[in-house]
Structure 1
Amino acid sequence: MNAFDLSRLRPRLPSPLEPVEDERFARRGLTLLLKREDLIHPDLPGNKWRKLALNLEAAEGRPVLTFGGAYSNHLRAVAAAGRLLGFATVGIVRGDELAGRPLNPSLTRCAADGMRLEFVDRATYRAKNDPATRALLLERAPAGAYVVPEGGSNALAVQGCVELGRELAGAADAVGVAVGTGGTLAGLAAGLGPGQRALGFPVLKGGFLGEEVRALQEAAFGGPRGEWTLDERFHGGGYARVSPALEAFARDFEARHGLAIERLYVAKMLYGLTALAEEGVFPAGTRLAAVITGAPDAPPSDGARPSGASPGGRARPSGASPGDRARPSSASPGDGGQPADSSR
C-alpha cells in the first residue's frame, strides 16, 4: 500500500456533531452543537487531518519539509503522519537558541516520531517564503522533498477543509471556528450551504487574517466562496496568551459539559461564541455549531509549558460566571503584532 493512502489510518469521518445543553444559549432560544473534529484521529485530530490529507496525497510518499514554532501542533501532526505512513519528515523550527536546549514535550514528540528538527534564527524563519531562503532551507531536507507551509495552510489544505462545511450542511445556521493561519475558515466557509455562515475567531492579534483568508480562497478556488466574518476581540492578547477571564471561562465550560478544552484555540472560539450569544447577536431559533479543532495536550513537565498556556484538563468549577465577562479585558482589536506560532 502506498505511503499516501490515508484510508489505512481509519479516520472517523464525518466527525460527530453533538448537541449540548448550555443555559447561556438556551435562555436565548439558541441551540449549541459541538463539531468534534478532535475525534477524527488520535494523532492527526481536527483540522490537522483536513489540512494535511490532500497535501500528503500530493506528496506521494516523498519526504515532507514543513515549518513551525516550538509548540506547533502542526509539526507534531506532520511528524505523526510520517511515522504512521512511512515517509521522512523535516521540521524547520523557529528560534536557533533552542538548538542547545533540551527539547520541550512538543518537540520531543516530533523527534520520537522520526522528524529531523532543524533550528533556524528568527530572521531566516520570517524569510522562509523568499525563494532564495527557501532554496537554502530545502538543502536541509532529502532531495525531492515536498514543502508544506507553516500551519499547513495552502490551496490544498483549504480544499480539504471544504468537506467540514459540507458535513454541516443543513445542520447549523452559523459555525464558529478558531483562526490561526486562515486555512480552516477559508475552506469551511466554502463548504457551507446557502444561508449558512462561518464565524472566525482569531487567536492572535494584528488584524491581518482577513487578507490571508481572501488570498487562500483565491488560491484554492480562484475567488471568494461562502459567507464568513472575523471577530478580532477574543485573541486575549495574542497567540499563547491565556487571560484570567479566558481561563475562568474554560474551566467553567469544562465543569458544565465534562469536556476538556484546549486553551490556545478552542477556548477562545467558545468564549467568543458565548459572548456573541449574550450580546444578542443571534435571533432565537439559531443553531450554532462550534468546531472543536483539537484537544488539549497532556500536562507537560514543570517549566515546559509556554507562558500563559494551560494544559486544559478537567477542572473544578472556578466560581466565575462567564456570562459576567462577555469580552476578555485583554482583547484589543487592531493591536499590532505577529503570531508567535499559529497552526489553525
Structure 2
Amino acid sequence: MPDAPAPSPGPPGLSRLRPVLPSPVRQVEDERFTRHGVTLLLKRDDLIHPDLPGNKWRKLAPNLLAAAGRPVLTFGGAYSNHLRATAAAGRLLGFRTIGVVRGDELAHRPLNPSLARCAADGMRLHFVDRRTYRAKTDPVVLAGLLDVHGECEIVPEGGSNALAARGCAALGHELRGVADVAAVACGTGGSLAGLAAGLGPGQRALGVPVLRGGFLGDAVRELQQEAFGGPAGDWWLDERFHFGGYARTTPALHAFAQDFEDRHGLPVERLYVAKMLHALTVLAEEGAFPAGSTVAAVITGRPDTAADGQSASSR
C-alpha cells in the first residue's frame, strides 16, 4: 500500500497568511464516551486560519500553489464554504476568483449572506442552471466558461482533487500516534482520502457523509488512485447521519449541537461538524470503539449563524 508523502512546510507565498499548523488537539471529558472507556479528542482544524479554516486550507493551499497567481475558477452551491474560502484567499493574496454557482441567478437575488461574502471578497459570481452545473466537468462546458472568463486555474467543487488529497495527508501525519480512529465529515471525499493516507499503521479513518447518495466510497477510491497511485490507509464510511441530505438539518441535530456547545465550549458548525460529532456519540453507544480506544474528531469549520439558519429549512 503506498504511503502518503510527509507534509511540506506549506506553499511559498501562503506562509505570509500565518496558518496555525499543526492545528491543536484538545481532550474533552464526555461521559457518553468515557463510560465506554473511549477518549475523545478534538482536532481543531477550525483554528488554522480565520478565513480559510480546516480542510479548506489543507485542500486549497496546494491548488493555489499550482495556480501560481493566475485567476482561479471553481464551483459550489449557494451556501458553499469552499466558494467563501476561495474568495477570501483571492482577497488576501491578490488574485482574481470566479465562482460558478448552481442555480438561477434571479432565485439568488438578493444574495444570501454566504454569496454576499464571496462578492464582498471580490469573487465574480457566474450562475448556471442545474443541468449545466451537473455537466461542469464536460470539456465543452469548461471551454464555455473559459471563453467568458479567460484562462483560469480550474479547481473542482469542494476543492477535491489529487492535489487536495495530498494536502489533507498532512492532517493524517499530524494525528499519527495520537488516536486509534480519526473522524471527519465528508462532502466530496478529498479530506477523507488524504486523512486516511496520512495515518500510520493500525489507525483508521472514519468518514461521515453529510449528503445522501452512496457515491462517496467510489469518489474516495478514485481520489486516492489519482493522488497516491492506489488505495492508501484504512478507512470506512458510515452513511446514516446525513439528516436528510446536503445542507439539511433537523431540530434534533440543532439540539445535539447546542448541548455539545454547552458541555465543551466549542462552537459547533451544523452542516458538517455536528453530523460527525453526532455520529461519534451514536457509534460510542453502539460499542463501535473498543474500550481503551482514542477517537479524534476533526473540527473542520466554525458555525455561520445566518447560513446555518437558512440551511436548516426544507429547501
Q: Does TM-score exceed 0.5, indicating one fold? A: yes
Q: CA deviation at 1:281?
A: 1.1
1:306 aligned onto 2:311: yes
Match of 2:313, SS?
coil
Aligned to 1:12: 20
Aligned to 1:93: 101
Q: 1:300 to 1:213 in 2, by over 3 A?
A: closer
Aligned to 1:256: 263
Q: CA deviation at 1:244?
A: 2.4
Aligned 8 A contact 1:4 1:61 in 2: no
Aligned to 1:117: 125
Match of 2:90, SS?
helix
**1:97-246 equivalences in 2 (<5 Å):** 97-98=105-106, 101-141=109-149, 143-246=150-253
Match of 2:56 among 26, 45, 48: 48
Q: 1:298 to 1:246 in 2, by over 3 A?
A: closer
Aligned to 1:34: 42
Match of 1:84, SS?
helix
Q: CA deviation at 1:100?
A: 6.6
Following TM superposition, where does structure 1 have runs of at least 4 consecutive aligned residues deviating by more than 2 angstroms?
97-100, 298-301, 306-309
Q: CA deviation at 1:4?
A: 6.0
Query: Quick one: distance in 2 between partners of 1:110 and 1:280?
Result: 43
Query: Quick one: distance in 2 between partners of 1:226 and 1:162?
Result: 10
Q: CA deviation at 1:138?
A: 1.6
Aligned 8 A contact 2:212 2:242 in 1: yes
| AA aligned opposite 1:294 | G
Normalising by structure 1, we get a TM-score of: 0.86
Match of 2:224, SS?
helix
Aligned 8 A contact 1:200 1:230 in 2: yes
Query: Quick one: distance in 2 between partners of 1:152 and 1:54?
Result: 10
Query: Quick one: distance in 2 between partners of 1:243 and 1:100?
Result: 23
Aligned 8 A contact 2:26 2:42 in 1: yes
Query: Quick one: distance in 2 between partners of 1:237 and 1:66?
Result: 26
Query: Quick one: distance in 2 between partners of 1:300 and 1:238?
Result: 16
Aligned 8 A contact 2:249 2:311 in 1: no
Q: CA deviation at 1:298?
A: 3.8
Match of 1:58, SS?
helix
More off after superposition, 89-98 vs 174-183? 89-98
Aligned 8 A contact 2:250 2:312 in 1: no
Aligned to 2:3: none
Query: Quick one: distance in 1 between partners of 2:196 and 2:103?
Result: 34
Match of 1:175, SS?
strand
Query: Quick one: distance in 1 between partners of 2:57 and 2:113?
Result: 21
Query: How big is each residue's C-alpha offset from its partner over 1:203-262, in whole Å with a ceiling of 9 and x where there is no partner?
Result: 001111000000000111110000000001001110111122212211111111111100
Match of 1:176, SS?
strand
Structural RMSD (CA): 1.6
Query: Quick one: distance in 2 between partners of 1:44 and 1:70?
Result: 18
